[in-house]
Structure 1
Amino acid sequence: MNKRFAPDLTAFQARYEAQKIAFGPVVFQCVRIAWQKGLLASLAQGALSCEQLMAKHQMSAYALNVLLESCLSAGVVASVNDCWQLEKTGYMLVNDKLTQVNFNYVHDVCWQGLFDLEKCLDAEQPLGLAHLGPWQTIYQGLSDLPEPAKTSWFEFDHYYSDSAFPEALPKVFKSAPQRLMDIGANTGKWAKQCLDFNPDVELTLVDLPIQLNVAQANLSAAGLLGRVSLAPRDLLSADLAFPKGHDVIWMSQFLSCFSLDNIGRILSKAAEALPTGGKLYILDTFWDRQQFDIAAYCLINTSPYFTCMASGNSKIYRATEYIACAEQAGLVLGQSWDGLGISHTLLQFHKTGA
């Protein structure tokens, strides 16, 4: 696979780009604060002088200039006729949900832990997670994350996954499965959509006990628990086994939580649980299957979160890596669909009789 993000640059241009990386963390914080304090929203209504901004936001000229001059250097605002005005990039901060979700996620969930990235890479352990709580992996503490990290984590996770669910549902239910197992059920969002989509399907939810408690509460509130079974599992357990008797196994944004070795092991256990002809669907974000560089950029730069905060040894993978693991587990790739939702690919595997 050949891939380049950088255009051809002169040495001078390349040096400028390198400085943007060097000061990236500084610019991130200044832009984030200007957005959070409402400065960018005010400028979205029209150009304002420093004095007008001072009066409106009760800030000193010093504070405003520190923030807005950094925003100026990043092309977020412009200085025109002694007034500040918003650039197109600034409008993204004010109006674009993707940009807002990513900003909050990076700051609230990842920021402090990323300081320990080198140690995490060396140890292949999420040592940065200590900034949020005392868990071995973030998945053990998702329901107990401190705010605002908890809200930002779930908004990030659901923003990406939820956009793909409506397009995935008809594909999964085309073969009219009667029993479906959702491995990595999280808060039960996919399960609820399945139960609403097909009034006859029965679901088994597999996840850590603390996550199943959340899914159970959400499905109970929706009056849907009658067709749901819960199967608590530690997916890293040496004696892992999945319940049998399901037509379809579903995994959404789940395998990226594990190392490639563990992905292979989980898929092998899933293959053991499937009957001949049974199907396994994997919905995930693969950076090598993106049409646009903006999506690949966001996904690639999510991987350090997995290193520092999540598991220490997982990442955003290429689709070819999942496919190789599945084939080694005895599963055959049937179909794949790219471009679901914001950035998802749906892989369909089946178990043969061989």
Structure 2
Amino acid sequence: MFDNDNLTALEAQRQATFICYAPMIFQSVKTMLNLGIMDILKKAGDEGTTIDEISEETGVWKYGVRVLLQSALGAGVVYQKDEKFKLTKTGVFLISKQLAAQIHINFVNDVCYNGMFYLEDSIKNKNAEGLKVLGDWDTIYDGLSELSPDVKKSWLDLDHYFSDVSYDAAFEILSKENFTNILDLGGNTGKFCRYLIQKMPDIQFTIGDLPGQIGMARKEMAASGLDTSNIHYQTLNILNEDSEPEGKFDIIWMSQFLDCFHEDDITSILKKCKKALAENGRIFVQDAFWDRQRFETGAFSLQQFSLYFTAMANGRSQMYDFPTFKEAVEKAGLEIIEIHDHIGRSNSLLKIK
């Protein structure tokens, strides 16, 4: 994977040109989705449809439909037979529930797009310079609960898209462990807690996170109607030197959390977790590593997603390659003793002692 340069000169030239115009292509597809053009093309199927028919059905003037479709032709989203336009396989994936491409599109558009203008500044200044387009916070996590509703929804939709589908497989692994309590560090809205307490109602479950996230978790828990007698909360900023988990835990669980930190911070966080483990306690880390993906498309997506962390989230984290992450674990005096790959869509689950 990513170990050769096998494009022909013409293919490479087209790829280079595609990259040059990628922002325009992105907005073209987003506009076609917003205006209902993609839905009409999907409904037309193999029969296809014309510019005039799309214009009449959507109310978008003919010129607008024409320039969007011609952009989509070059981008490989549609193809044309005579006067009729049809979705390509790429176009079908862009509107399919299987890929949930619109979750990705909305995340890039609502959370990342404007801030990516500041990517170069973020690299130079070692800071998420693009975050200022969303709000005045040190990191996006400090302001997550305060994001505008549309932006917050797009952020959470993508986060849950990758985490929710992994719950069953992760539970099968966790259920083989002997434990009476668990700390979900970086528990966010408490979604994993709500899942696990239905499977293991006697477990003492603690959610640890920033104040805004704890507030969201409490709100979601109250709305769930579940028995909350075994659920506890710890408000903490794990990056602060004097902020550590309180108590001893059989399991410390971190899902899609440590990728939010620089590798030096990961080591520091794991040292704090080590101190909070009960005797024979263990740490479970669920994260996506681009070099442990089954398919190249998955790796590509994670590589690009790293730039969100650079420009928007905190300026210093990424979707890691496994060797870099493993080194951070070992610097904390810990050892990865089990690895379960391909959990859900892209995650690996690490057992650490």
Q: Deviations over 1:57-78 (max 9, x none)?
A: 1111211111110000011111
Q: What pairs up with 1:182-221 in 2 under 5 angstroms?
A: 182-221=184-223
Residue 30 (structure 1) shift: 0.6
Distance 1:84 1:270 in 2: 56
Aligned to 2:307: 304
Secondary structure of 1:279 counterpart: strand
Q: What letter is aligned with 2:229?
A: G
Q: Which whole-Å CA distance do the structure 2 matches of 1:132 and 1:294 have between them? A: 29
Matched with 1:32 is 30
Structure 1 consecutive aligned stretches of length 4 or more whose deviation exceeds 4 Å: none
TM-score by length of 2: 0.95
The answer as to whether partners of 1:180 and 1:204 remain within 8 angstroms in 2 is: yes
- Partner residue, 2:57: 56
Equivalent position of 1:91 in the other structure: 92
Q: Deviations over 1:155-195 (max 9, x none)?
A: 00000111111110121131231010110010001111111
Amino acid at match of 1:326: V
Q: 1:6 offset after TM fit, Å?
A: 6.1
Structure 1's 132 and 5: CA in aligned 2 closer, same or farther, altered over 3 A?
farther
Partners of 1:302 and 1:316 within 8 A in 2 = yes
CA distance in 2, matches of 1:252, 1:181: 11
1:283-318 Cα deviation digits (max 9, x unpaired): 011101101001101111100100111111011012
Deviation at 1:10, TM superposition (A): 2.0
Native 8 Å contact 2:263 2:317 kept in 1: yes
Measured after TM superposition, the shift of residue 122 of structure 1 is 0.8
1:174 to 148, 159, 176: 176
Q: How far has the Cα of 1:88 moved from its partner?
A: 1.3
| Mapped partners of 1:146, 1:327: distance in 2 | 39
For the pair 1:148 / 2:150, whether they are aligned, the reply is yes
Match of 2:104 in 1: 102
Aligned to 1:41: 39
CA contact (8 A) 1:282 1:347 kept: yes
Alignment-derived partner of residue 138 in structure 1 = 140
Q: Following the alignment from structure 1 to structure 2, what is the Cα–Cα distance between the partners of residues 266 and 73? A: 47
Secondary structure of 2:336's counterpart equals: strand
Cα offset, 1:211, TM superposition: 0.5
**Length, aligned pairs only:** 348
2:281 is aligned to 278
How far does residue 19 in structure 1 lie from its aligned partner after superposition? 0.4
Query: Quick one: which amino acid aligns to residue 315 of structure 1?
Result: Q
Equivalent residue for 1:128? 130
Question: Which of 216, 234, 239 lines up with 1:236 in the alignment?
Answer: 239
State which of 3, 12, 15 in structure 1 corresponds to 2:13. 15
Secondary structure of the structure 2 residue equivalent to 1:138: coil
Corresponding position: 1:253 with 2:256: yes
Runs (5+) with no aligned partner, structure 1: none
AA at the equivalent of 2:42: A
Asked if structure 2 preserves the Cα contact closer than 8 Å seen for 1:35 and 1:93, the reply is no
Q: Is the 8 A contact 1:125 1:312 kept in 2?
A: yes
Gaps of 5+ in 2: none
- Identity %, equivalent residues: 35
Contact 1:283 1:346 in 2 (8 A): yes
**Superposition deviation, residue 276 in structure 1:** 3.2
Paired residue for 1:111, among 105, 110, 113? 113
| CA distances 1:20-54 after superposition (whole Å, capped 9, x unpaired) | 11111111111111122111110112211111111
| Mean CA deviation greater in 318-327 or 145-154 | 318-327
Once the two structures are TM-superposed, the CA of residue 126 in structure 1 deviates from its matched residue by 1.1
Any idea what SS the aligned residue of 1:140 has? coil
SS at match of 1:21: helix
**What is the SS of the residue equivalent to 2:320?**
coil
Summarize deviations over 1:204-223 as a string: whole Å, max 9, x none.
11100110111112222333
Select the residue among 298, 322, 325 that pairs with 1:322: 325
TM-score (norm 1): 0.95
What is the alpha-carbon distance in structure 1 between the residues aligned to residue 81 and residue 3 of structure 2? 32
Describe the SS at the equivalent of 1:324.
helix
Output the amino acid matched with 1:233.
Answer: L
Q: Distance in 2 between matches of 1:62 and 1:279?
A: 61
